[in-house]
Chain A
Amino acid sequence: MVFTRVTSGDNPFVPKVIIKRMEVLDKPYESDTAISLLHHIELPYNQNTIAIEFVPLEYTNPLKNKVQYKLEGADEDWVQAGTFRMARYTNLRPGTYTFQVRASNNDDRWNATPTTLEIVIRIPFWQSLWFRFLLLLLLLGIAYYFSTLYLDYKIRHEKLKLEKEQAVDQERARISSDMHDDLGSGLSTIRLLSEIAKRKIQDPSQTREIERISEAAGELVDKMSEIIWAMNSSNDSLENLIAYMRSFAADFLEHAHITHQFSIPESIPNVKLSGGTRRNIYLAVKESLHNVVKHAQASEVMIEVKMQQHSMTILIRDNGKGFDQEKVRLFGNGLKNIQKRMQAVGGQADITSQNGTIVFLDIPLN
């Protein structure tokens, strides 16, 4: 050991600080290794109040030693220790801290390398990333589960509503069916009996009224058949409508001994048409053909169905005497009805007279 006389002002020895002791939650920190030799301490999240006691190793003029410390992560700047050689930190948040402590000798020469101790306050498991991730997954799982429950409930609710509606519809259908049956049975009876009465009367000139009764009853049954066809939703297709109209037209014109020619596309697009729409279109065509048979005095009729991009056109042309567009009132409400029916389906009717009557129906399809 060499003692060197040092005069005031040029003490070259820069003191080192050692950490003498550490307290956690006011209880001494137990460790196998001496605290002064430790570089890294890990503490659980709830042992987060610490006190560190440190001492500079400079005994020239101990009272003139200055100590500074700083806990990286908690202190913004160096803290003067003053004479109190202890740093205290309460309720440290989880994280990594570096406790740095340095001293200066009596000549204010600071140690460039402070003594450091890394302190890690471990995060509680519920703050750890994996836990939060699992929790998120769990919450998402729960949210998903509840959303499926809600969806199930909604679906069941809708189903019940639909079933109820269907039940009401079915009831309505049953009532109307019963009503139709009673009416139809009665009308059929009237018709059959009037036919038998007609047969019994030998003189054909006497049977005109009975003939009319029979016809009227038969027409009513036909009208009700048409209503049943329109109401049946399994008939809601364009294909069905065209078949129904063609079948009626062929039969009707056949009975009236009028030659007929149909031009209908081979393939008909798959378009859904409601019962109301089908009925309007059918009746417009029926009315037109009735006019041909009753008024036109025609021998030939041509019916042409054409498909356009968003619509269908029906052309009914006869070779009859046509009509006087001025005196259209002769047809009663006939032509107006056709136009009204077309309007009801969002289409239009053009009825012109040119070497016969031409009825042109334009029907939009979606």
Chain B
Amino acid sequence: MTVYSKKKSQDSMDIISVAIVEDNHDIRTAMELLINGSEGYACVGAFNNAETALEQIPHLLPNVALMDFNLPGGMNGIECIARLKAEFPDMQFMMLTVYEDDDKIFQALEAGASGYILKKTSPGELLEAIRDLHEGGSPMSSQIARRVVAYFQKQAKPNPALEALTSREKEILDQLSKGFLYKEIASNLYISIETVRRHVHNIYEKLHVRSRTDAVNKYYNR
């Protein structure tokens, strides 16, 4: 476990502070090196288990936290995200996953992740994904979109306290679930790709709120 202190920004570009929670040594150190070696990014902490991450991240307050699923010890990545997101709602969480396993990814999204990235992703794409997330955009595959649609449909009682999806968001979800790319959706709806990304991000935030409410309700057996 290595802990770095917050780097001060040298130039006008936003430096994104990143924390990594990944138990695979090679992947973790490779990512650490990559992030620190890239301009505009700083790795403020790298952990190999959830418990330590839970301890240290509140002090480090990274902008983005990359979290793996399977972590040694009692807690897994999903639980770690849930706990941290509850305390720090502005912190962005990116799930590190080996495959596009939609079930697992969706669980992470429910817990508080706003993005996911495959471990096999090339370094360039990894950095891009971190920046996108930091700037309020999120990725969503067609398979994830299908699950998100099903999730919002399953919500039987429309709770007025919870924000419903806007018609634009529904439209984007619909096209994503049919297999359209961000680029295609942007051109279909005459908006920019960033706007699409931001809408997806907002959809995830609404998902978080609902799923937290569901969890609380389930706990209190309402």
- List A residues at the B interface (Cβ < 8 Å): 180-181, 184-185, 187-189, 191-193, 195-196, 199, 214, 217-218, 221, 224-225, 228-229, 232, 234-235, 240, 242-247, 250-251, 254, 264
Contacts and interface: CB of A to CB of B under 8 A. Distances in A.
A189 B179 contact: no
Contacts of B26: 189, 192-193
By size class, the interface of chain B is: 20 to 34
A218 B119 CA distance: 10
8 contacts: A185-B27, A185-B98, A191-B122, A224-B99, A229-B102, A240-B143, A243-B178, A246-B180
Contacts of A193: 26, 30
B30 A196 contact: yes
A243 B142 contact: yes
B122 A195 contact: yes
Contacts of A232: 102-103
Top 6 nearest A-B pairs (CB, nearest first) are A246-B179, A184-B98, A188-B119, A247-B179, A243-B179, A247-B142
B118 A188 contact: yes
Interface in B13-67: 24, 26-27, 30-31, 33-34
A221 B118 contact: yes
Contacts of A181: 70, 98
Contacts, number: 97
Given A192-B30, A228-B99, A229-B143, A221 B120 contact: yes
Contacts of B142: 243-244, 246-247
Contacts of A196: 30, 33-34, 123
Nearest to B68: A185
Given A187-B120, A188-B118, A250 B27 contact: no
Interface of B: 24, 26-27, 30-31, 33-34, 70, 98-103, 118-120, 122-123, 141-143, 146, 177-181, 183-184
**Secondary structure class of chain A's binding surface, majority of residues:** helix
Contacts of B34: 196
Nearest to B119: A188
Given A221-B120, A245-B179, A247-B143, 10 more contacts: A185-B24, A188-B27, A189-B119, A191-B122, A192-B31, A224-B99, A234-B103, A242-B178, A243-B146, A246-B178
A43 B66 CA distance: 100
A192 B173 CA distance: 31
Contacts of A228: 99-101
A225 B101 contact: yes
A254 B99 contact: no
Contacts of A188: 27, 98, 118-120
A187 B27 CA distance: 11
B99 A235 contact: no
Contact of A251 (B27, B98, B123, B181): B181
B181 A250 contact: yes
B99 to A, nearest CB: 4
B139 to A, nearest CB: 12
Given A221-B120, A232-B103, A189 B24 contact: yes
Nearest to B31: A192
B141 A192 contact: no
Contact of A244 (B27, B143, B184): B143
A195 B181 contact: no
Nearest to A240: B146
B185 to A, nearest CB: 11
Contacts of B183: 254
Given A192-B27, A244-B143, A184 B119 contact: yes
B18 to A, nearest CB: 15
Contact of B143 (A195, A224, A243): A243
A264 B76 CA distance: 41
Contacts of A240: 143, 146
A221 B99 contact: yes
A12 to B, nearest CB: 104
A242 B142 CA distance: 10
Contacts of A195: 122-123
B119 A185 contact: yes
Nearest to B27: A189
A247 B141 contact: yes
Nearest to A222: B120
A180 B183 CA distance: 31
A250 B120 contact: no
Nearest to A227: B99
